[in-house]
Amino acid sequence: MNKVAGALWVVVWLVLVSCSGKTKPTANQPQFEKPLPTGNTANLTGQQLAQGYCGSCHLFPDPNLLDKQTWKNGVLPNMALRLGLDLNGANPYAGMHFEEIPTVNQANVFANKPLISQVDWEKIVSYYDAAAPEKPLPPAATPAVKASLPLFTPKPFYFKHRKLPLTTLTKFDAAGGRLFLGDQENNLFILGKELKQIDSLRLESPAADIYINPDGSFKVLTLGVLQPSDRNKGSLTQYARNPDGTYTAQPLLQALNRPVEASYTDLNQDGLTDIVVCNYGNHTGKLVWFLNKGNNHYEEKILTKVPGSRNVVIKDFNRDGRPDIMLLAAQASESISLFFNQGKGNFEEKQVLRFPPVYGSSYLEVADFNHDGHPDILYTNGDNADYSVSLKRYHGIRIFLNDGRNNFKESWFYPLYGASKAIARDFDQDGDLDIAAIAFFPDFQQQPLNGFTYLENKGNLQFAAATFPQAVAGHWLTLEAGDLDQDGDQDLYLGSFIAAPALVPAEIRQKWFSDGPNMMVLLNKLKNKNNTQTQNRKQ
């Protein structure tokens, strides 16, 4: 078959799969955490059925988490497809790239025959329709947010030749005094102390993460596919700069499933640095570690097959001398788990926190907020781009305190629509941890400045919230802290990504496209009182 004919056949096949409700790949039954209801279910109520079926895969979602229309038109139809129901010929594989379908099919995401009767399903739908609120419930009252940041000076960053703000990565290199900025167009820019561009590379796909080697070379993790996907196109490549200014690229890992983070440590304590990769994927995904076999050869070890592996913290949580792994899983069965290192490459998993599947878990850090010597959890949830796009009162920032035995209890919550990342640093150097946070899905209609929030620690888990007037100038996707100007305090770097789904007023979006910065730098004035607001348009 010639290339033209072959390409035409692929297009025709994709159209058939995408448009026909009858053309579906064969699938086995999905895997469930708990058994589905069995026997005679005629006497079960809609609530009981929902607890049985919904709770078999993830934490049971209470109806008041979403409004009626979002349940009926967004979440429940997707659940029906996963349970094998045929809703007016809907095809669960519609819209997928043909390379994704075998992966999703093999993972048993969608049942190939009904796992629930139509009568029981209608009971579940009726239960959510009756119990859910007409409109999203409002959040609890929060203190007013000041539109002033006395500690920071905003400095918008623009490239010399206008580039749309499509930033996917901001990464600070403390040892080298560099800031890496990646974008959707597969560019990786390297900036120096004065935010001057000192180098650039062209990558195979958008950068998701970077690791700086002691010798100044660096490893770049690329997504493969930026949009939600189960195509195994991600990779990890090491770059070393040659004397003539070119770079030598050494591929290390290939065929990764939309990886979003890579971490490095010697897990099995053999003297070689291993790699932990969060394969976020979409319907599928997994957390894996790669055993370093020497000479840039690695062997994959699967820790858990869970979609939405967002990020990890590697730390000796149980103080036995071995590095453990804490994982935030952000899709479907949203949770935080600890993988305790048992030695010799073996791990034991303990799920320490679990969240409803509509929470939108987005980021995890650990820090000791109460100074008791035990790592606490700083967690954000605010992902709002799937089946339940609405303002959610439970979106925000949480601190879970550690009881000393790696049991965690929520001790502080700050409501923030669309919260996507929070980091803890002592920005004002007063001896306690402050918080800087971004929200990719804030309420742009009523609270347009809440894309960034600074929370100054006042003691006893009390924080004063503030933002800045220029916070609406970008759509902040990335957040990084570091002292690029080397004045002894921590600055902040906010990367803007404007080509993404969000409920944004037309005038704000137009401003982003016409004059939005690629990055906003918040210069910490603690050690340099002379920092003034300037615009850098000549990079």
Q: Residues 402-435: pLDDT tens digits? A: 999 999 999 999 999 999 999 999 999 999 999 9
Q: Where is average pLDDT lowest: 7-16, 302-311, 449-458?
A: 7-16
In the predicted structure, residue 360 carries a pLDDT above the cut 80: yes
Start-to-end CA distance of the chain, whole Å, equals 50
**DSSP 8-state code for residue 497:** B
What is the predicted pLDDT for the residue at 17? 28
Size of the chain in residues: 539
Q: Is 11 helix (H, G, I), strand (E, B) or coil?
A: helix
In the predicted structure, residue 15 carries a pLDDT above the cut 70: no
Mean pLDDT, the chain, rounded, equals 90
Short-list 74, 50, 79, 78, CA closest to 62: 50
What is the predicted pLDDT for the residue at 14? 26
Q: Where is average pLDDT lowest: 11-15, 131-135, 340-344, 482-486?
A: 11-15
What is the predicted pLDDT for the residue at 7? 29
What is the predicted pLDDT for the residue at 259? 98
Pairing of strands 309-315, 297-304: unpaired
CB 134 within 8 A of CB 390: no
Q: What percent of the chain has pLDDT over 70?
A: 91
- Within 8 A by CB and 6+ apart from 43, the residues are none
Single pTM value for the model: 0.90
pLDDT: which is higher, 187 or 42: 187
CB 203 within 8 A of CB 186: yes
Residue 102: burial class (beta carbons within 10 Å; 0-12, 13-18, 19+): exposed
In the predicted structure, residue 11 carries a pLDDT above the cut 60: no
- Within 8 A by CB and 6+ apart from 120, the residues are 41, 44, 49
H or E segment at 7?
A: helix 3-19
Identity of the amino acid at 8: L
Give residue for tokens 């004045």: 487
CB 340 within 8 A of CB 352: no
Q: Where is average pLDDT lowest: 25-29, 218-222, 337-341, 413-417?
A: 25-29
Identity of the amino acid at 366: V
Q: Mean pLDDT across the stretch 152-157?
A: 97
Q: How many CA atoms lie within 13 A of 250 on its CB side?
A: 12
How many other CB atoms are there within 10 angstroms of residue 422's CB atom?
27
What is the predicted pLDDT for the residue at 188? 98
Phi, psi of 534 (to 5 degrees): -135, 160
66-93 pLDDT, tens digit each = 999 999 999 999 999 999 998 788 889 9
Instruction: Name the β-bridge partners of 478.
Output: 495
Give residue for tokens 């139809």: 77
CB 464 within 8 A of CB 458: yes
In the predicted structure, residue 21 carries a pLDDT above the cut 60: no
Give CA–CA dist 522/236, Å, rounded: 30
Considering only the C-alpha atoms of the chain, give the largest distance between any 2 of them, rounded to a whole number of Å. 77
| For the chain, the helix, strand and coil percentages under 3-state DSSP, each to the nearest 5 | 15, 35, 50
- Angle in degrees, CA 79, 85, 88, rounded to 5: 105
Q: Where is average pLDDT lowest: 11-25, 42-56, 252-266, 338-352?
A: 11-25
Residue 255: burial class (beta carbons within 10 Å; 0-12, 13-18, 19+): exposed
Identify the band that residue 138 occupies on the pLDDT scale cut at 50, 70 and 90: confident
Instruction: Name the β-bridge partners of 277.
Output: 262, 288
In the predicted structure, residue 535 carries a pLDDT above the cut 80: no
Phi, psi of 186 (to 5 degrees): 70, 20
Q: What is the token pair recorded at 326?
A: 């804490």
- Angle in degrees, CA 300, 332, 47, rounded to 5: 145
What is the predicted pLDDT for the residue at 142? 73
Kindly list the structural domains of the chain, giving each domain's residue range(s) and its CATH number in brackets, ordered by start: 46-131 (no CATH), 152-524 (2.130.10.10)
CB 165 within 8 A of CB 512: yes
Q: How many CA atoms lie within 13 A of 41 on its CB side?
A: 22
